[in-house]
Each structure stands twice: as C-alpha cells, then as structure tokens.
Amino acid sequence: MEELRVVTEKAALDLPLIHRFLSQQTYWAKDIPFALVKKSIEHSLCFGGFVGNDQVAFARVISDYTTFANLVDVFVLPEHRGKGYSKALMSSVFAHPELQGLRRFTLATGDAHGLYARFGFAAPAHPQTLMERYEPGVYAAVA
C-alpha cells in the first residue's frame, strides 16, 4: 500500500474529480454545480490526499482560525477505502498549525462516526443549543 500524501495547496487539487464525487456520490452535495464547488474551495482550508500523482481523498475546513472550525466534504474514493487513508487525512487536518487551539470543531455527518470519534468528535453535549438553517433546494436554484 502506498502512503497518502496530503497537501493544502489549492493549485494541486483535482477540481473536476472533487466536483464529480461531491455531485454524484454524496448525499450532502448531490447535484452541486461546479461553480459552487470551486467557490467553496477558494474560501476554505482544503486537504487533498494523493497516492502518487492521483488525488484519492479530500477534506475541507471552514474556519476563523481562532475559535471555530467546521469539517466538511470529507471523502476517500471508493476504490481506495480500507487502506487507512481516511485516518491519515484526518490526522493531517487536526495537525495543521492554523487549526490548533480552537474552542469548537464541528462536523455534520450521517456516517463514519467511529472514524470521527477517534479524533474527539461526539454527539453534542447540549443539542438544545444548536440550530441550523437548512435549504435543501438551493443547488437547483443556482444551476
């Protein structure tokens, strides 16, 4: 098994691959337009996981780099799962110098809870303090 090389340089990211995966293979970003993926990457701290020259994993963090961060759009391509790449990717995210000393790091996910628990995530201790504004049809309005 080859080791995962994680980079944060946006120029190295394979935007078409990221868009294709998010828009076609996720429940959280189904049908997201390419322009929105590109803009979200431009305004986030991104982590691309590479095996050789091929991108096989991705994660994005939205943060003020002082008190708060939100982990989003995490994936490993299906054919590369089960090789420890998700753990390597998350280790790189949480070791990043800009993401140290944050009071709160959030994540919304319907799967891989065991993976994220290894990195300190848990169900909210006080869910009654959390609210969200959710607009599921927003991608259709933009397309």
| Spatial distance between the Cα atoms of 9 and 13, rounded to a whole number of angstroms | 7
* pTM for this entry: 0.94
Helix 15-25 vs helix 34-42: angle between axes, to the nearest 10 degrees?
A: 120
| Spatial distance between the Cα atoms of 117 and 129, rounded to a whole number of angstroms | 21
DSSP secondary structure, 95-125, as one string: H-GGGSS-SEEEE--SS-HHHHHHTT--S-S
**Where residue 128 sits, what CATH number does that domain have?**
3.40.630.30
Under a CB-based contact definition with an 8 Å cutoff, are residues 90 and 115 in contact?
Answer: yes
* Domain range enclosing 62: 5-142
Q: Report the pLDDT value the prediction gives residue 137, as an integer from 0 to 100.
A: 82
Q: Report the pLDDT value the prediction gives residue 1, as an integer from 0 to 100.
A: 67
- pLDDT tens, per residue, the chain with 143 residues: 699 999 999 999 999 999 999 999 999 999 999 999 999 999 999 999 999 999 999 999 999 999 999 999 999 999 999 999 999 999 999 999 999 999 999 999 999 999 999 999 999 999 999 999 988 888 877 76
Q: Say how many domains are in the chain.
A: 1
Place of tokens 């993926």: 37
Q: Report the pLDDT value the prediction gives residue 141, as an integer from 0 to 100.
A: 76
Q: Report the pLDDT value the prediction gives residue 120, as an integer from 0 to 100.
A: 95
